[in-house]
Amino acid sequence: MVRSSNGARTMTEAKLDFPEVVGKLVAELFVVEDPEFGKEVLVRFSDGTQLSIAVGVRQVVDARYCNEETPDLPISHRQSL
């Protein structure tokens, strides 16, 4: 996460591109619950290929030590996965 100029937290842009599926004809699209990976979006194409996207949540501890006057400038910053 990043802080905007008004101090609000915003998400950084993350993007996954799959140019190999551009122009393919979608035969089936659905969301399944995968016991190992969580929610999974599955797109099956008419040519027998498929795109699987697992959507999961990771817990991360984000600790920042800073001065109260400058919270956007941490003295130290640690993350634990």
Residues 6+ apart with CB under 8 A from 6: none
Q: How far is CA 49 from CA 9, 30, 46, in A?
A: 39, 15, 7
Q: What would the pLDDT profile of 29-45 be if each residue is shown by its tens digit?
A: 999 987 776 888 999 99
Strands (E), the chain: 2-3, 9-10, 26-34, 38-45, 50-55, 61-65, 76-80
Q: What would the pLDDT profile of 16-74 be if each residue is shown by its tens digit?
A: 889 999 999 999 999 998 777 688 899 999 999 999 888 877 777 777 777 778 777 77
Q: What confidence score (pLDDT) does residue 70 get?
A: 78
Q: What is the pTM of this model?
A: 0.55
Q: What confidence score (pLDDT) does residue 10 get?
A: 57
How far apart, in whole angstroms, are the C-alpha atoms of residue 11 and residue 8? 10
pLDDT above 80 for 12: no
